[in-house]
Amino acid sequence: MMAYKKPQSLPFEQMPEAAETLMALMHAQGEVARLSEREKLFSSLLVSVNAVLWAFDWETQQMIYVSPAYERIFGRSAGLLLADYNEWRDSIYPDDLDYAERSLAEVLVKGSIEDREYRIISADGQIRWLSDKCFISHQSDDRVIVVGIAEDITEKKHLEGELQRLATTDVLTQSSNRRHFFECAHREFEQARLQGTSMAFLLLDIDDFKLINDTYGHQEGDIVLQRIAESGRAILRRGDLFGRIGGEEFAAVFPGCSPEMAQQIAERLQREIQRLSFSHNGHVYGVTVSQGLTSYKPEDDLLDALFSRADAAMYQAKRQGKNQIVPS
């Protein structure tokens, strides 16, 4: 049988030093654990944030960091991006590429750019809007690192577009409403006045519209208004303005259009409306319109002058038997 050997104990003078070492080891282990927990927390936060955090080395033109949201928003591989910055550049919507590159370069002068908005095309072909803020981060080795956060604002842009459409569009006919039409018309008038270019103004009123409402009902009257608006959009040229400015009254502006050309457009519109056919409870009927047409003159200092002439010409068309165009 082996003899029992009592374990040796540390000398009394070494015990505090050993305790300190043990406490230091325990503290270090605790710090490692805490750092690990922080890293896990940070990683989970990066995954949940619906924005791309990125860092770009300006000298080497390389992306040196991109957060997990990149693959979710762009639908592209983060590894490929870190290998080649052109992965990001090539995803930018072509019409926005020049702006995106110029605004990124401005950060070298301004230090930060907080109002960058541009579109990208994700890997699945969807067009997304980004709000991409960026800042300069100077490193200790004098490298210039640009850091940024690119947020997906597609839904916000769609909402803004819908609100803009509702604010500027006549709900029934989907034409410009009165306020928006005259805002645009005033801009076109000022351009014609300052540049000395031509411009025509047209007013159109549906003949006997009250009789249509009284005979067939307001729902049928709404259909007539919608079809008139469709005719206007079909006949007018690209860049022309068309809007509903009253109950059964529409207006149009023809920028850069001579009086002769404006007359031809008005005549085409007149013929198109005359060809429209409506049916209610087996009864088929048509509609006509009276139009007043005028053009910009050098002595005109306000759009109101054109509106007044067109309005007077339109009522003259009414007095002369309706279904006609009166130039002024």
User: Residue 147's domain is classified under what CATH number?
Assistant: 3.30.450.20
41 band by pLDDT with thresholds 50, 70 and 90: very low
- Judgement on whether residues 51 and 137 belong to the same structural domain of the protein: yes
Residue-level pLDDT at 26: 57
| This prediction's pTM | 0.64
Query: Does 268 map to a domain?
Result: yes
Helix, strand, or coil here: 43? helix
- Judgement on whether residues 147 and 262 belong to the same structural domain of the protein: no
142 band by pLDDT with thresholds 50, 70 and 90: confident
Residue-level pLDDT at 267: 96
Query: Does 2 map to a domain?
Result: no
Across 59-73, 132-146, 166-180, 308-322, least confident range: 132-146
How many Å apart are CA 36 and CA 13, to the nearest integer?
36
Strands (E), the chain: 51-57, 62-66, 112-113, 117-121, 127-138, 144-152, 199-206, 241-244, 249-255, 278-280, 283-285, 289-295, 325-327
- Judgement on whether residues 311 and 194 belong to the same structural domain of the protein: yes
Q: Which amino acid is at 97?
A: L
When divided into structural domains, the chain yields a total of 2
Query: Does 119 map to a domain?
Result: yes
Query: Does 41 map to a domain?
Result: no
Residue-level pLDDT at 5: 54
Residue-level pLDDT at 101: 94
Q: Using the predicted structure, report yes or no on whether residue 37 has a pLDDT greater than 60.
A: no
Structural domain boundaries, residue 139: 47-159
Query: Does 137 map to a domain?
Result: yes
DSSP 236-295: SPTT-EEEE-SSSEEEEEEET--HHHHHHHHHHHHHHHHT--EEETTEEE---EEEEEEE
192 with 297: CB under 8 angstroms?
A: no
In the structure encoding, which two tokens stand for residue 54, read together?
Answer: 């990125």
Query: Does 220 map to a domain?
Result: yes
Those residues whose C-beta lies under 8 Å from the C-beta of residue 206, and which sit 6 or more positions away, are 212, 224, 225, 228, 248, 249, 287, 288, 289
- Judgement on whether residues 189 and 321 belong to the same structural domain of the protein: yes
87 band by pLDDT with thresholds 50, 70 and 90: very high
Query: Does 285 map to a domain?
Result: yes
- Judgement on whether residues 211 and 273 belong to the same structural domain of the protein: yes
Mean pLDDT of the chain: 87
pLDDT (tens digit, 9 = 90+) per residue, 162-212?
A: 888 888 999 999 999 999 999 999 999 999 999 999 999 999 999 999 999
Pick the residue with more confidence: 132 or 45?
Answer: 132
Residue-level pLDDT at 83: 95
Residue-level pLDDT at 62: 93
- Judgement on whether residues 182 and 250 belong to the same structural domain of the protein: yes
Mean pLDDT of 127-150: 87
- Judgement on whether residues 301 and 183 belong to the same structural domain of the protein: yes
Of 175, 288, 181, 277, which Cα lies nearest the Cα of 232? Answer: 175
Give catalytic residues, as residue numbers: 248
- Judgement on whether residues 109 and 208 belong to the same structural domain of the protein: no
Q: Using the predicted structure, report yes or no on whether residue 132 has a pLDDT greater than 90.
A: yes
Q: Which of 105, 136, 159 is the C-terminal boundary of a domain?
A: 159
Q: What percent of the chain has pLDDT over 90?
A: 75
Query: Does 39 map to a domain?
Result: no
- Judgement on whether residues 224 and 119 belong to the same structural domain of the protein: no
pLDDT (tens digit, 9 = 90+) per residue, 3-22?
A: 555 555 545 455 455 556 55
Domain with residue 303: its CATH number is: 3.30.70.270
Q: Which of 159, 189, 220 is the C-terminal boundary of a domain?
A: 159
Pick the residue with more confidence: 138 or 123?
Answer: 123
- Judgement on whether residues 113 and 59 belong to the same structural domain of the protein: yes
- Judgement on whether residues 208 and 281 belong to the same structural domain of the protein: yes
User: What single-letter DSSP state applies at residue 327?
Assistant: E
- Judgement on whether residues 176 and 310 belong to the same structural domain of the protein: yes
Taking each helix axis as running N to C, give the angle between helix 154-168 and helix 178-195, from 0 to 180 degrees, rounded to the nearest 10: 90
pLDDT (tens digit, 9 = 90+) per residue, 305-326?
A: 999 999 999 999 999 999 999 9
Q: Which of 159, 186, 205 is the C-terminal boundary of a domain?
A: 159
